[in-house]
Structure 1
Amino acid sequence: MEGKLFRTSVGGYNKKDVHDCIEELNGRLRTLQNEAKAGEKTLMEARKRAEELERREADITAERAQFERRIAELEQQLQTVTAEKTRLSESFDAVRRVNGEYTAKISERERTCAALREKLDQFDRARTTAEDILLKAKKEADDIVDTAITSANEIKTKLINEIRDCQDVFENVKQQVNYARRETLKNIEAARCAMLQMDGFLDKIAVDSLLCRDPGTIALTKQDLPDKEI
């Protein structure tokens, strides 16, 4: 009733006008009191929400630290697996070199056998009347050839078996290393995805926290109240 004049009557203002003005002011006072109570309730709820967000943020920070430790462990495992794969590759290369050496020895034995057989053929072509000497020489040559061939075959068979065993072991380890590497990369990717989700949630929490004011610094102003005509 700002700017409104009371009607006058004998001895003063009109009593009804004064009474109506008081009732209107009381109504406004009750409205402001109700709005103040509602604001206090909203403020208490905001404080509880802020406290809950702080507790949740602490939990998420702990979970994030746990994920970071797990990622570090997985990366360390990946480095170990990679180093083991390198070591096995070097071991396999060493086995291949040894195999090459043995193959060269076998080839040398085979050339020796061929030379002995050629020598035996020469003895056969140059056979003389000394049949006993020739037979003895032939027998000795055959024995040498047979012994050399048997020895070479044994060495060759042994090397082939060793090479197959090494190849089987290397293939098995290679499969295990590749599987461990794939699993490790998969776990790292899953952990990183979880970290990204947590970062997004932490950002949301940070925004929500900024929207929740400290009740000790809040004062109700005209801008805080709903738009009403006073």
Structure 2
Amino acid sequence: MAGHSQFKNIMYRKGAQDAKRAKVFTKIIRELTVAAKMGSADPDANPRLRAAMIAAREANMPKDTMERAIKRGAGGEDNTAYEEVRYEGYGPGGVAIIVEALTDNRNRTASEVRAAFGKAGGNLGETNSVAFMFERKGVIRYETKAAGADAMFEAALEAGADNVESDAEAHEVTCAPGDFSAVRDVLEGKFGAARESRLQWRPVTTAPVDADTAESLFKLIDVLEDNDDVQTVSTNVEVSDEILAKLTA
């Protein structure tokens, strides 16, 4: 398993739903506000805002909460100057980690992220210290009921996607960052709004870890994701199904 999405999904299902939802809402509201502030309040003319709205719906955010965040950003009511920052470093077991944040205080966020890495036995590096182990990809996901595997495959490749993977739960389309908007727009025109669409860091090589290291790493990821400034955490960890089952039992 490259990354930690499977583990994260399991943990979300296991408990602390309300607390997790509050954190997710905080991050999405910030993204909605920034997206509306930087571009148009019309999602058809603002791909970043459209992606944030899709994330909000996926998180079951109330419509009025979403609309207030957009209005606050578009109307200039939010005077907070958010800055996009990327942190890179190594976690337990030498696992490469990329942390993306939206912050109104770069020093505070850097200090908190550095402290989280240090407490977990990792270390924060310079920009591009681990980015070379990843590739930036546009990722668009649909539920299987949206289309048949063949139809999704053909439409995605015609739109300029690099790859399509389908299983019992979803279709995942990947493409180059420069093709992301075009591919997403074509697919949305054919199959409706995607379940998820965003740019992600995908590992080129993975780092296998044992159970103890995996547990320490997942604790670090939880601490990072609990930080209101942190938007995404990407890793190149590889955890066996056996270890994953043991840790989530």
Band of TM-score, shorter chain: under 0.3
TM-score (norm 2): 0.16
Higher CA-based Rg: 1
**TM-score (normalised: structure 1):** 0.17
The structure richer in helix per residue is 1
Q: Relative contact order (alpha carbons < 8 A, sep ≥ 6): 1 or 2 greater?
A: 1
